[in-house]
Chain A
Amino acid sequence: MPINLNALGAETPWSEVTVAQDRIDALCSVLGDYNPLFLDPETAARSANRTVVAPPTFINCLRDFKTALVLSQTEVDLPLLLHGEQVIRYYKPVRPGDRVLHKIKVVEAGRKQSKTYGEVSYFTVLIKMKNHDNERLVEATQLFFVRDK
């Protein structure tokens, strides 16, 4: 089923979330990534970061309203959705306790030919994370494909 291409430009408002150590713990635990820079304040204090920081793919964990946006605006049939590509750019470290603002916007939507699945719909979302000083922390684009059947 094709997606709603009019979802292009749809965006969420900025939403605040406090980065919690237990969210970082959950991601590290499931990945089996026990790097103490993400987990242990004592080790992190001796590093250039000075404090614990979030691992590089933590932005994937700020998904609460993203799914709602994708579902409501692009009218995606979720079982037909495939993740294509993700690009993350880092500007400043994200630390537990930080109150960060994030938002998501559909920045690309269309139809294209896939080698594997034939003609598919695709859309790209831009996820932004900034602090209350309006400084960029992390930004990511995610490209998704949606098969017709």
Chain B
Amino acid sequence: MNDMSTFSELNYPQRLAVPAGASVPQPEEGPYFEDVTVGMALELTKPAITRLQIARFAGASGDFNPSHVDEDIARDIGGMGGVFAHGMIGMGFLGQLLTDFLWDRPLRMFSTRATLIVRPGDSLTCRARVTRKWVEDEDNLVEFEVEAVNQRNEVTHTGKAEAVLPHRPIAIKGELKRPYLVQHRVIG
């Protein structure tokens, strides 16, 4: 009898060796357009970035620029005082902040600008704030301004994101309708 499991058959806490107590979002469903208000704020503080994490990100992304993984080259040739984290690590953290909240609601656009180098030992706090809600054709869109700051409150990343959120269905004569269709019926 073969009781071996293939790697792909393991559940994800086993595959990723998820640490005990790690934050795992488990909402029933994503937010609706009506749930989001301009000014709404989100925040996520990540543990301090380690050299090992930077090396693992190089492996995951394929970005082995020596500025991130080779202390001698980063210091002596790069002139940056030593290795620093990929800017995309901070963008990944900001993406986590957004998708923890949005759940299965799709992003349409996500942009970041790296404004300050992040060193091993720096801890980033990621923030997002809803700055605009609007309707474009049939899509209900929400805009977020995002930023990451280090433990000295210096801004390391700025950016924006746009997400598409559905209307919350409303009951009319016992049937759930999307407001768009209801409005169309009233006007038409």
Q: For the complex, count residues of A whose C-beta is within 8 A of B.
A: 48
Of the stretches B59-67, B128-136, B137-145, B178-186, the one at the interface is: B59-67
Q: Which residues of A contact B64 (CB under 8 A)?
A: 67
Q: Mark B108-128 against chain A: 1 for CB-CB distance below 8 A, else 0.
A: 111111100000000000000
Q: Does A39 touch B at the CB level, under 8 Å?
A: yes
Given contact pairs A55-B92, A81-B65, A86-B91, A34 touches B110 in the complex (Cβ within 8 A): no
A61 pairs with B111, CB closer than 8 A: no
Q: Does B79 touch A at the CB level, under 8 Å?
A: yes
Q: Does A89 touch B at the CB level, under 8 Å?
A: yes
Q: Which residues of B contact A90 (CB under 8 A)?
A: 106-110
B7 pairs with A22, CB closer than 8 A: yes
Which residues of B, 77-123, contact A by the 8 Å Cβ criterion? 77-80, 86-89, 91-93, 95-96, 98-100, 103-114
A49 to B104, CA, bound (A): 7
A61 pairs with B60, CB closer than 8 A: yes
**Contact with B59, one of A26, A32, A43, A48 (Cβ below 8 angstroms):** A26
B30 pairs with A48, CB closer than 8 A: yes
A31 pairs with B93, CB closer than 8 A: yes
Q: Does B5 touch A at the CB level, under 8 Å?
A: no
A85 pairs with B79, CB closer than 8 A: no
- Which residues of B come within 8 Å of A, CB atoms? 7-8, 11-13, 15-18, 22-26, 29-30, 46-47, 53, 56-57, 59-67, 73-74, 77-80, 86-89, 91-93, 95-96, 98-100, 103-114
